[in-house]
Chain A
Amino acid sequence: MAFALQTEKLCKSFGALTVADHIDFRLEPGARHALIGPNGAGKTTFVNMLTGVLAPTSGSIFLNDQEVTNTSQAARVRLGLGRTFQITTLFRSLPVLDNVALAVAERTGVAKRMWRSASSCKDIVEESQNLLGVLGLADDAASAAQDLPYGKQRLLEIAVTLGLKPKVLLLDEPAAGVPSHDSGKVLQQLEKLSSDIAVLIIEHDMDLVFRFAQRITVLVQGQVLVEGTPSEIAGDKRVRDVYLGEAHV
């Protein structure tokens, strides 16, 4: 069976420091999978290798059974890998609509066009507005992204990535920095995502993780400690020791 995303013996070292140590990871199509681990476990490095920001020291990465270990970031996006950032990474000075439209235009190949006006590309604008509507941002389309409240910026981050119609979606701490009464809103939107999309979420908010994920992988010091269903993870003594003890689960 083809996995949406798969790594084999993935390693990354910075000098003597090993931040990924033979990670074998599998994401099934349509999965709701969470990656957790204490600070410095190597979660973000792992995501950066998956997306092509960092080159692994050794090992391989497959996207729908196609090896992408050495392909560029842009090429992986075209193969259906979308990601959001832990630290909000938006086009801050551009309107909210344009943030999404730029992504949609890249996906549809319109972005290369020099000779017609952007605002006359009705299909791009409409699709972007629809996406904003789905995430409850329709009224903010005209504001600059930097003027949005932080919770909405996190939602916009997701909207931009959905504009790429990804088959695999990597959410790097989608609720990071969102006040706790708003993280419910983020979760609400995540639950609405199409079941065609395989989602891997990296998150510190254990409440969100246990409500959202069907499977959980625990990463400790660059190694996979254990993988299982939320109840298995919650019951695992090693996980409690290294991690969940401090998170009050």
Chain B
Amino acid sequence: MSGYSADTRIRWTEWLPWVAAGLFFFLMPEYLSLGARILIFILFALSLDLILGYAGIVTLGHSAFFGLGAYTAGILSARLGVNDAFLQLAAAAGMSALLGMLTGAVILRTRALTLLMLTLAITAILLEIANKWSTMTGGADGLSGVQVSPLLGLFKFDLFGRTAFLYCLIVLFAAWWVVRRIIYSPYGAMLTGIRDNAARMHAIGAPVYWRLVMIYTVSATMAGVAGALLTQVNQFVGLNVLGLEPSGDILVMLILGGVGRLYGAFVGPVVYIVVQDTLAKQYPEYWYFGIGVLLIFVVLFARGGILGIFDKLRDKWLSHSRPKSSARASAR
């Protein structure tokens, strides 16, 4: 969908997530905290899609940036008394960008399984630091006492999560806009080229390694912002933002929604968190079972994720209603 022959105008379907979020805000006020959580994981998944879906970097360590962002915001408030929301976001973004650039510069020289293990190692190291450095991070007890001043001095984080929801929605909207610009840009087209055939990309003179480090840094920054949002909304940071588990969760969310489709990052977390929330009420210990079944189903029968099912149905409908050549042209 990206590239030099893409139509970059915003289609009406692309407004649907925002309309849905607006409706959610007015119709389900008792679920706004859950809603904010979903928005945060959409942002996290979006950052992952940028490197996995477009650049083809497979990672099990994306929680390193999410967690660093979460702890940066938390430590700023609980230990240093900086309670301004935007300062916390900016600091989290900066720290994650730095980590993304430094680790990316080391690990993106490798590929495939080696790369996968190195990403996992980095988040595992961060998890251990957060666990052991308890004077700063609160260790296994987590970091409590996080405070966020009213936004712009006006909007307090209320008990029902109204401010939190809208705040997360605005940050997500900004991130979506940035990601959309990038994937439709020459840079985005170049990334799909690397994903499709890195050898060819080298042969047309692209400095593949530097390009990957760059997009990895951008993605890390966004993941860090998502982590900071989680801290601000929960007013707490736990060790569960680091390590294999959150990395795997976000990967599963993205695969459920559909990888490399931009909106797969929107659908996946909604399905995952709603299923998780519903099942956990019934079977508090076995909710992962439901997610597992869902994942198996998607991987076996819907390789493009949930959004891929819609694409297939649309293509089928088009090929029935039009001659083949024009159906192919419109499928682009």
Chain A interface residues toward B at CB < 8 A: 51, 53, 72-78, 83, 85, 89-95, 97-98, 101-103, 105-107, 110-121, 124-125, 128, 141-143, 160-161, 163-164
Contacts and interface: CB of A to CB of B under 8 A. Distances in A.
Given A51-B203, A124-B4, A163-B204, A114 B197 contact: no
A76 B5 CA distance: 29
Interface string B271-294: 000000000000000000000000
A120 B8 contact: yes
B186 A112 contact: yes
B192 interface: yes
Instruction: State the majority secondary structure of interface residues on B.
Output: helix
A12 B182 CA distance: 42
The 10 tightest CB contacts between A and B, nearest first, are: A77-B205, A101-B4, A117-B8, A91-B196, A103-B204, A114-B187, A98-B3, A117-B184, A118-B189, A111-B190
Contacts of B187: 111-114
A113 B189 contact: no
Contacts of A124: 4, 186
A106 B194 CA distance: 13
Contact of B189 (A77, A101, A161): A101
A99 to B, nearest CB: 8
Nearest to A52: B202
B329 A142 contact: yes
B196 A92 contact: yes
B3 A118 contact: yes
Given A102-B193, A105-B189, A114 B182 contact: yes
Interface residues of B, number: 34
B217 interface: no
Interface in B246-272: none
A107 B37 CA distance: 44
A118 B205 contact: no
Contacts of A85: 199-200, 203
Contacts of B219: none
Contact of B206 (A74, A90, A128): A74
A117 to B, nearest CB: 4
Contacts of A93: 196
Contact of A119 (B5, B203, B329): B5
Which has the most chain A C-beta neighbours within 10 Å: B2, B204, B329?
B204
A118 B6 contact: yes
Which has the most chain A C-beta neighbours within 10 Å: B189, B193, B207, B328?
B189
A150 B8 CA distance: 31
Interface in B1-59: 2-8
